[in-house]
Amino acid sequence: MSIAALTEVDDGPRSKRPAILAAAVECFGETGYEGTKWSAVAGRVGIGQTALYHYFESKAHCLLTVMRLGLRNSDVAFHAATADAPTALAALRAAVGAAYALSPQEVQQNRILVANIGLLAAARSSEREETERLASRELVARVERNWVELLERGIRAGEFPDRDPVIMARSLLGLLTGVWRWYRPDGALDLDDIATYMAGCAARMVAADEP
């Protein structure tokens, strides 16, 4: 399993952080965050509780880190996909495509993010948890801003009808992330099918005239 999606610039080659995060993604994905025992994560990585606590002070701290890195990856992928798009409509389709161009691990990470997004609403009493929560909220706002700017570009260029870009960005994010509530890797549709279907939905929602 690739762990690039769970690695940060300050993780040295001997850091166990990415491996712990990968194990947590597996555990949270299989039995849910609530249903996962924190000690089960240590067991899966093959480290002791002491080493585990060296990196993460709690299960919530670990979850919030998984969520922050998932949001960071979405932000990076959005910019990579849309940078060279010749039109706003092409950028919209590319951004939707990027939202589903994911490894199985990244899919789990997104499912965990969506299932636990409510955790970002209330302040944490632990300082390290609160740092991750605030960074995650900042990234949620940044991801929304990416979509708003794409929509504003299309409206300015006359490609898209002039509909409120903030509400449209939130609507698109609701549409796209809603997939993680029902998508299963062994389901009838693969991610390519879903990406094509959702790109059509998004394009009609944003650019079509009223039927």
Q: Which residues bind a copy of itself (CB under 8 A)?
A: 31-35, 89, 115-119, 121-122, 163-164, 167-168, 170-171, 173-179, 181-182, 189, 194, 197-198, 200-201, 203-205, 207-211
Task: Residue count of the chain, please give it.
Answer: 211
CA distances from 121 to 27, 124, 135, 158, 170 (A): 23, 9, 12, 37, 17
If we measure between CA atoms, which residue out of 95, 100, 112 comes closest to residue 194? 100
Nearer to a copy of itself, 51 or 167 (CB): 167
- Would you put residue 32 in left (φ > 0), alpha (ψ -120 to 50) or beta? left
**Residue type, position 64, single letter:** L
Minimum CB–partner distance for residue 14 and a copy of itself (Å): 35
Nearer to a copy of itself, 146 or 171 (CB): 171
Nearer to a copy of itself, 40 or 117 (CB): 117
If we measure between CA atoms, which residue out of 181, 178, 170 comes closest to residue 140? 170
Residue 122, Cα to own-chain centre: how many angstroms? 19
Minimum CB–partner distance for residue 99 and a copy of itself (Å): 13
Nearer to a copy of itself, 116 or 136 (CB): 116
Minimum CB–partner distance for residue 90 and a copy of itself (Å): 12
Nearer to a copy of itself, 15 or 87 (CB): 87
- Tokens 């092409």 belong to 90
Minimum CB–partner distance for residue 178 and a copy of itself (Å): 2
Tokens of 30: 């299989």
Minimum CB–partner distance for residue 119 and a copy of itself (Å): 8
Helix axes 88-100, 127-156, angle to 10 degrees: 150
Nearer to a copy of itself, 15 or 31 (CB): 31
CA distances from 105 to 6, 52, 56, 100, 173 (A): 10, 21, 20, 12, 20
